[in-house]
C-alpha cells in the first residue's frame, strides 16, 4: 500500500538498518531488515499501487487513480487478483474520460481475472456489452450478456436491473 516513491524510501531505510546491524554484528536484526526489503520488493511486483488507486477511484479522484495506475510498469507481473482489479479500475477511469475503446479492452481483460465479487465480474461483462452496443457490435454484446447468466444467483438486485436494461437496449437495436 505504498506509492513507488514511498516504497523506495522505506527500502532505503531498511538498507541503512541492514548496514548498521551488520556493522554492529546484530544478525537477527540484519535478517529482519533483509526480510522487510524482500517483502517490499515482492509487493512492488505483485501488489504495486493498486490499493491506493482503488481508494482514489472510489473517492472519484480519477486523475489520481490514473496516475497511480500508470506507476505500474508491468501489469502482467501483478498477482491475478490485483491484475483483475487493475484492469477493472483502469476501465472505469477510461470510461470517465470517454475513451470507450480503451475502456472496453480493460474490461475485457478484467473479466478474465478473478475480481472481488461476482458483482464486480458481472459489472465488467456488462460494461463490455454496453460499449459493444454503442459501437454497433450486437453479437459481441449478446455474448457478453450471456456470460452474466452463470452469476445471476450471486449478484445484487441493482446489478440484475442493469443487466435487464442493457438487454432491452440490445433488443431495440437487434430488431
Distance CA 143, CA 137 (A): 10
pLDDT, residue 175, reads 60
Q: What does the pLDDT look like over 59-99, one tens digit per residue?
A: 999 999 999 999 998 999 999 889 999 999 999 999 999 99
Q: What does the pLDDT look like over 38-60, one tens digit per residue?
A: 999 998 889 888 999 999 999 99
Cα 21 to Cα 8, 11, 27, 122, 151, distances in angstroms = 20, 15, 7, 51, 54
Pick 49-174's CATH classification: 1.25.40.10, 3.40.50.300, 3.30.870.10, 3.30.420.40.
1.25.40.10
C-alpha cell at 115: 475480481
C-alpha cell at 124: 465488467
- For the whole model, what pTM was predicted? 0.84
Amino acid at each position: 500500500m505504498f506509492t513507488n516513491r514511498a516504497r523506495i524510501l522505506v527500502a532505503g531505510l531498511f538498507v541503512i538498518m541492514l548496514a548498521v546491524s551488520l556493522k554492529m554484528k546484530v544478525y537477527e536484526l540484519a535478517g529482519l531488515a533483509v526480510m522487510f526489503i524482500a517483502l517490499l520488493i515482492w509487493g512492488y511486483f505483485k501488489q504495486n499501487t493498486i490499493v491506493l488507486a482503488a481508494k482514489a477511484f472510489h473517492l472519484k479522484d480519477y486523475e489520481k487513480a490514473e496516475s497511480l495506475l500508470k506507476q505500474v510498469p508491468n501489469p502482467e507481473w501483478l498477482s491475478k487478483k490485483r491484475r483483475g482489479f487493475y484492469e477493472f479500475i483502469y476501465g472505469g477511469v477510461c470510461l470517465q474520460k470517454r475513451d470507450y475503446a480503451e475502456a472496453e479492452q480493460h474490461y475485457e481483460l478484467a473479466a478474465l481475472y478473478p475480481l472481488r465479487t461476482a458483482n464486480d465480474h458481472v459489472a465488467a461483462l456488462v460494461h463490455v456489452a454496453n460499449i459493444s452496443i454503442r459501437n454497433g457490435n450486437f453479437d459481441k454484446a449478446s455474448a457478453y450478456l450471456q456470460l452474466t447468466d452463470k452469476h445471476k444467483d450471486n449478484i445484487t438486485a441493482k446489478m440484475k436491473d442493469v443487466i435487464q436494461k442493457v438487454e432491452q437496449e440490445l433488443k431495440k437495436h437487434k430488431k
